[in-house]
Structure 1
Amino acid sequence: MKTLLCLAALFCAALSEPTIYFEERFGDGWEKRWVESTHKGAEQGKFVHSAGKFYGDAELDKGIQTSQDARFYGLSAAFDKFSNEGKTLVIQFTVKHEQNIDCGGGYVKVFPSTLDQGDMHGDSPYNIMFGPDICGPGTKKVHVIFNYKDKNLLVNKDIRCKDDVMTHLYTLIVRPDNTYEVKIDNEKVESGKLEDDWNFLPPKKIKDPEAKKPDDWDEREKIDDPDDTKPEDWDKPEHIPDPDAKKPEDWDDEMDGEWEPPMIDNPDYKGEWKPKQIDNPDYKGKWVHPEIDNPEYTPDENLYKYDDIGAIGFDLWQVKSGTIFDNILITDDEDHAKKVGDELWGVTKEAEKKMKDKQDEEERKKREEEEKKAKEEEGK
């Protein structure tokens, strides 16, 4: 009996273990695991291995950093292909725009195993695109794009990304019940149903093409009072001659023409007369176009599902380089992803901020010292 219980416990533990489809922390040998695209030729930028100018841990925080301004970047890694059918899919990674990016992408693309890695480019078919995108003050969003029946569908919500220079953790969770969740720094920022927030399917209801508003349908809530009449003394001119004005003593009619007093606003002017409004006895309210079931709508229980997931990559354009990517994880366990995020990003974020604050203070003191010397030189 004890043996059976032990076996059952081991079986349950095995079932509860997360599946790690892909994980990359950019340690030794990372270059061998990643393939650089040559599609853009001379315009293709280089990734370098770096923790950046400030960090929490010099080794743990090393990732791949864009190194050349105004360049395309294309880098991908393949893994054993899988399907997320009946399973949760979690895509997670960290991004640090330490250059205070002005315009450029910070997202990843998850591809099918058929990706031509050496020729990866903007039109290479992908399954999911996820992550931050910044370009000027108007674009600071988290992209969540799903490919469905060969169409790339953008999320209908505006999900704002982080736009500072620190490292941030981005997580996308897609569940087999066709719901999703987007997290930044292990905190939920958006969630909902796939069908509600993307245009996967036609609308369930459409306006009845056979219905039309009746000709006698009155939508006027108020109407002119037919019994109201304009008062006889209503019409007065808008401007009248100034009764207090006097002809100047030096006015010469022959030289200056016939004198006319200046015009002033008429205090008795009442404007255009309009009859008062009354409730419309024939008012029926706003006509609402009746809806019918859309004959083109067919539910799909597998909106979340991809039969072939086999690669992940960075397909980007950046005006100002310096972004660092790290801590990539693709798994079927959102709790495990949260734990990994806490263990990697979570334990270094405070030290990173402390180092950045120290650098900023040193730069401030240096700048003040230089300004002081400059003023002293001017005084001499």
Structure 2
Amino acid sequence: MLMCMRPVAVACVFVALATVATVHGAIHFHEKFSSIDHWTASKARSDYGKVELSAGKFYADAEKSKGLRLTEDARFYALSTPLPTPITNEKKDFVVSFSVKHEQDLRCGGGYIKLLPQMDPAELKGETKYWLMFGPDRCGYDKKIHIIISYNGANREWKKRPSYPDDRLTHVYTLHITPSNSYEFFLDGVSKEKGTLEADWDFLPEKEIDDPEDKKPADWVDVPTIDDSEDKKPEDWDSEPEKIVDPEAKKPDDWNDAEDGAWEAPMIPNPKSKGPWAPRKIPNPAYKGPWAPRRIPNPAYKKDEELYKIPEPLTHVGIDVWQVESGSIFKDIIIGDDVKEVLDIVKSTYDGMKKAEEDALAAFEKKEEQDEKEEDKKETDGEEDKKKEDKSDL
């Protein structure tokens, strides 16, 4: 079971992860996963999955690619690590980034992280209060990138649903939130979505609502088309029935009226029928369009200039997910206040190893294919040997 190391070692880790001041801003936290001894497993339940420090089954670099790997199928995982110092963002930008590799070809499970205020790591579970839940999630065809932000006691989901790569490679998820209440989402260091917090989350009531006192006028016409009064039924229109008795049908020889009832021939479509006649439709000259009540200011709406603001200082990073197929590897969790600084780290850690990892995956999949063929051949040979043995016994 994962547990914290002795205090001296933890102190060393904190020194390694402490805030790094830069020319432009600060990197408050950078988890490189040189060790996982400072991550604490929750004891909220007894059957959480185990984790390990691993580069996985294929990798760009045996050491640099190491991360926190989930190892057991069909398990919940709940573990966390403390931040060197509590993080707030009043009047400052906030940037969080991390990478995850679903080398197991994940079909159902989470690959997201949580940023949490003060809590007991031993009691971390799905219901534990958090400020931000961020990252990919999938079950079957339902794929999404979560950006869930806690606001006034409720977890608010991101309205947008951008896609993410459906492969086994490492991908980097970065979120930038500004004091102007704007945000930007980056995938692998490339901007994919941007907007405002107010528009893309349901933090606040609508600015305007329908006027409950406004009523639809009695003379309002909302029927777009009417019958053409000039259109007349053609004289040769044959109002034949749509179905007729099948003239080819014959009463079965073994039909007994006394037992089976009176025999009736089946009905078939009438080839002479044109169907019921109706005049053509024309635009209604009195049509005013669909009616809607006028909009008025919502008395419940109150603008909040601090939607961006972390309500309680963040003290922990958590991984709290369920995975049907285990094997995901978390790497390079970064928290800072300058998006350029964070993206520069993404570039140096991700871009530099992307091609090498792609080559490693190609070689690994080729070996997987070869191993599968050899296994199939062994099974086939075994079946042939069994047939020969059975024949010899005869």
Fold shared by both chains (TM-score > 0.5) = yes
- How do 1:53-132 residues align onto structure 2 when only pairs under 5 Å count? 53-79=57-83, 80-112=85-117, 114-132=118-136
- How do 1:131-280 residues align onto structure 2 when only pairs under 5 Å count? 131-137=135-141, 139-226=142-229, 228=231, 230=233, 234=237, 235-238=239-242, 268-280=272-284
CA contact (8 A) 1:133 1:161 kept: no
Is 2:343 the partner of 1:351? no
Q: Aligned equivalents of 1:352 and 1:163: distance in 2?
A: 16
Q: Aligned equivalents of 2:271 and 2:107: distance in 1?
A: 59
CA contact (8 A) 1:236 1:269 kept: yes
- The alpha-carbon distance between structure 1 residues 20 and 265, as it changes in their structure 2 partners (threshold 3 A), is closer
SS of 1:364's partner is helix
Q: Which of 313, 317, 327 pairs up with 1:312?
A: 317
Q: Aligned equivalents of 2:319 and 2:378: distance in 1?
A: 46
Residue by residue over 1:44-98, the C-alpha shift from the partner in whole angstroms, topping out at 9 and shown as x without a partner, is 1221111111111111111111112222211111221131111111111110111
- Cα offset for 1:212? 1.4
Q: Aligned equivalents of 1:281 and 1:363: distance in 2?
A: 70
- The alpha-carbon distance between structure 1 residues 296 and 231, as it changes in their structure 2 partners (threshold 3 A), is same
What is the percent sequence identity of the aligned residues? 45
Residue by residue over 1:121-179, the C-alpha shift from the partner in whole angstroms, topping out at 9 and shown as x without a partner, is 11111000001111112x22110000000100001111223331111111111111111
- Cα offset for 1:15? 7.9
> TM-score w.r.t. structure 1 length?
0.84
SS of 2:191's partner is strand
Is 2:361 the partner of 1:329? no
> TM-score w.r.t. structure 2 length?
0.81
* Two-structure CA RMSD over aligned residues (Å): 3.0
- Cα offset for 1:265? 5.8
- The alpha-carbon distance between structure 1 residues 357 and 278, as it changes in their structure 2 partners (threshold 3 A), is closer
CA contact (8 A) 1:98 1:165 kept: yes
- The alpha-carbon distance between structure 1 residues 263 and 19, as it changes in their structure 2 partners (threshold 3 A), is closer
Return structure 1 stretches of 4+ with deviation > 6 angstroms. 240-243, 260-264
Q: Aligned equivalents of 1:237 and 1:81: distance in 2?
A: 82
Segment of structure 1 superposing worse, 355-364 or 293-302: 355-364
Paired residue for 1:294?
Answer: 298
Paired residue for 1:21?
Answer: 28
Residue by residue over 1:197-227, the C-alpha shift from the partner in whole angstroms, topping out at 9 and shown as x without a partner, is 1001111111111111112211122212345
Q: Aligned equivalents of 1:241 and 1:102: distance in 2?
A: 56
Q: Which runs of 5+ in 1 are unaligned?
A: 1-13, 248-259
Paired residue for 2:56?
Answer: 52
Segment of structure 1 superposing worse, 321-330 or 70-79: 70-79
Aligned residues: 355
